[in-house]
A = this chain, B = another copy of it.
Amino acid sequence: MNIQQIIREQHLGLLFQQGSFGLEKESQRVYADGSVVTTPHPSLFGSRAYHPYIQTDFAESQLELITPPNKKLEDSLRWLSAIHEVVLRSLPEDEYVFPLSMPAGLPAPEHIKVAQLEDQQDVAYREHLVNVYGKNKQMVSGIHYNFQLDPDLIHTLFKWQPRFQSAVEFQNNLYLKLAKNFLRYQWILTYLLGAAPVVQDNYFKNGSPLKTGQYVRSLRSSQYGYVNAPEIKVSFDSLEAYANDLEHWVKSGKLIAEKEFYSNVRLRGGKKARELLQNGIQYLEFRLFDLNPFEPYGINLKDAQFIHDFILLMIWLEETADQQAVELGKEKLFTVALENPLAETQFRPEGEYILQQLITMLEDIGVESARIIYAKEKLAQLADPSKTLCGRLVHAIEDDGCYQQFGAKLAQRYKQQAFERFYALSAFDNMELSTQALLFDLIQKGIKTEILDENDQFLSLQFGDHLEYVKNGNMTSHDSYISPLIMENKVVTKKVLAKAGFNVPQSVEFRSIESAVANYPLFENKAVVIKPKSTNYGLGITIFQQGVQNKEDFAKAIEIAFREDKEIMVEDYLVGTEYRFFVLGDNTLAVLLRVPANVIGDGKHSVTELVAMKNDHPLRGDGSRTPLKKIALGDIEQLQLKEQGLTVDSIPAEGQLVQLRANSNISTGGDSIDMTDEMHPSYKQLAVGISKAMGAAVCGVDLIIPDLKKPAEPNLQSWGVIEANFNPMMMMHIFPYQGKSRRLTQHVIKMLFPEMP
């Protein structure tokens, strides 16, 4: 079977590059000095019985972070980043994530705790490992790279190849070819990406085999790493042979289970090897990779892509390594792993030959040039070992002087970086902040999440068999469809609420300027609000707080409202302060006061300076990538200043409140102030009732309340509801300018999955 030829002839270059990718990354939790913690796995991360993203590997201190499978490698890296941000922001204040594969500051073996899992078989397996390999070796961390070829590719290749009659057999053969060739040439990746040059002496049971000051390419991939006894040999010649060998070693007691076979390539698709004969190999797991300490999450996209290209080459190559070649490959790996990282490898010619072939393949299948350039850089590193990852790492460690301290410093820096935009999930920053906050909580608690449509903020969530969908952070199956339809229409909202007995200001609707103006006598001297029927964001609204004084003003306000909608309302004006109630189910979870954009004078700085100072607040930015918006100093603000006898250059007196906007929207620089604890509970109950009257599960209720401390009375002097909003904003409650944060996204999760522990 000549794969190259089929791909070329059938124009499959693009399909060849499709696939599915998943990453698993181990790392130790450490204290500020880089020493491994002795604390339990943080309870914030829910239960390891089901957590899809945050697990422990061998030890209680050893995090295993798992991305879901993705069709795009970029997405796997984004998930890895997101999971890291969640972990780093959730760890106790004095804990960090160690960025290097070889652990530093290892506690005495008796203080290394095996992962406290619920499944007693899992615990027993770990205890077996301790007996066979000792605890220290188990503390080494690395990255596992899962890869699946596109089933369409396999299907198409099968169609065009002449040799195999069975599709499953063909598929197994293809993956076995990949596995064998990978094992044959894996040393090249360790040469280029190995990053475990050194470890503290207490790692070794019987004293370090390395001389003082000696560095190697990868202790982890060497005989001192996590490897089976040398006699455990398993054939990759055929799947049948593979299964037979594994079963033999387990039967003989040399392996406690098939999973104790630590090959750098694992065949995946069944719990036991024999199942693969039926099901076919579904994907491969490559376990070779050391953590890259220069990357906050242990690997970068370019290297991950290079690994993908290398994997593809293993299929592309005309020959397939036989078992002898596989064993030769393993030997070469052991050799290269212990080479001096700053010296050339003895296998340089073979490496250059293979990377040349890689470049030819990339050109052949028509990848973007950046990938070819990167492959060429890697090729050049065979001649210049100081450019390899390990070469650079050794220099960095040398510069620092101490391995543990070097790792500790990086661990601290990466944790600090993860807090820079603490309200965001950097990797998903093109989604809404509320969806980012929800994703954060979902990852933390261990709800299996799929992003169905990123632009559309559409997620699917799964816990056990229970499936839910969420759009825009809080639109779910718990709301009835009619409820947003009611809220979308202010007239209908008012009628529904009035029917249900809530205090609603009276209003009259009009469909033409003429009819509205003709009804002017109905509103003369009345305090009213004129507003479009459906638009939001305060557009087209005029308030006559002191009563409509003349027909001209009235007509103008009517005209302004009609600019925004084909129908408008003239509504009785209610006296009081507007509060936003965030209702979820039977509870008002947050109450917010929104204050129009403002600064307070200090007798020293100008308005421009005061605004700049206020805008320095970490929550303020463009208002979409930040919870709050920077105050502008445009025409509207300057007009507002003028009404107060000020300009942007005025220096307001100490304590002087300078209002920069009339409207209180957060989107025009307003302040958000949490008032949940201050609000009298009677209003919170009312808001829940209002939400329920509209069939809503999640609702933003706007109440006008003159005195938030007095209990609600059943009349419009005490309170009135002026609006109800579906998909209400959450970020202003989660990250208010003043007052307590209310983590609403956690409540959304609880609502959807009440069965979660």
Contact = CB atoms under 8 A, between A and B. Distances in A.
Interface of A: 11-15, 450, 452-453, 455-456, 458, 460, 467, 469-471, 475-486, 489, 491-492, 495-496, 499, 519, 521-522, 524, 566-567, 695, 726
8 contacts: A15-B521, A453-B492, A460-B499, A469-B695, A475-B485, A477-B482, A477-B483, A479-B480
Given A481-B476, A496-B469, A491 B522 contact: no
B452 A469 contact: no
The 3 A-B pairs with the shortest beta carbon distances in the complex, nearest first, are: A479-B481, A477-B480, A11-B521
A187 B648 CA distance: 76
A541 to B, nearest CB: 20
Contacts of A452: 489, 491-492, 495-496
B482 A14 contact: no
Given A455-B567, A478-B481, 18 more contacts: A12-B521, A13-B521, A14-B519, A14-B521, A15-B521, A450-B495, A452-B492, A452-B495, A455-B566, A458-B486, A460-B495, A460-B499, A469-B482, A470-B482, A471-B482, A471-B485, A476-B481, A481-B726
Contacts of A14: 519, 521-522
A484 B12 CA distance: 38
A636 to B, nearest CB: 31
Among A14, A480, A481, A485: residue with most chain B CB under 10 A: A481
A453 B491 contact: yes
Contacts of A471: 482, 485
A458 B489 contact: yes
A675 B31 CA distance: 71
A640 to B, nearest CB: 35
B469 A477 contact: no
Contacts of A455: 566-567
A271 B455 CA distance: 60
Nearest to A495: B452
A467 B500 CA distance: 10
A544 to B, nearest CB: 17
Contacts of A476: 480-482
Nearest to A500: B467
A695 B467 CA distance: 11
A234 B308 CA distance: 99
Contact of A492 (B15, B456, B489, B521): B456
A521 B519 CA distance: 66
Nearest to A483: B481
A477 B695 contact: yes
Nearest to A485: B471
Contacts of A726: 481
Contacts of A478: 480-481
Among A453, A483, A489: residue with most chain B CB under 10 A: A453
A408 to B, nearest CB: 42
A521 B491 CA distance: 53
Contact of A524 (B11, B485, B491, B695): B11
B481 A477 contact: yes
A450 B496 CA distance: 11
A603 B342 CA distance: 92
Nearest to A567: B455
A469 B486 contact: yes
Nearest to A519: B14
A619 to B, nearest CB: 29
A515 to B, nearest CB: 11
Contacts of A522: 14-15
A206 B631 CA distance: 92
A458 B477 contact: no
Contacts of A467: 499
A512 to B, nearest CB: 13
A453 B496 CA distance: 11
Contacts of A482: 469-471, 475-477, 479
Contacts of A460: 495-496, 499
Contacts of A12: 521
Nearest to A458: B492
A485 B470 CA distance: 9
A524 B15 CA distance: 12
A470 B469 CA distance: 24
Nearest to A696: B481
A477 B485 CA distance: 10
A694 to B, nearest CB: 9
Contacts of A486: 458, 469
Contacts of A469: 482, 485-486, 492, 496, 695
Among A12, A450, A471: residue with most chain B CB under 10 A: A471
A483 B471 CA distance: 11
Contacts of A483: 477, 481
Given A521-B15, A522-B15, A458 B481 contact: no
A480 B698 CA distance: 13
A15 B489 CA distance: 26
A491 B566 CA distance: 33
Among A483, A491, A496, A522: residue with most chain B CB under 10 A: A522
A370 to B, nearest CB: 15
Among A12, A482, A522: residue with most chain B CB under 10 A: A482
Contacts of A492: 452-453, 456, 458, 469
A750 to B, nearest CB: 17
A560 to B, nearest CB: 21
A190 to B, nearest CB: 34
Contacts of A485: 458, 469, 471, 475
Among A467, A485, A519: residue with most chain B CB under 10 A: A485
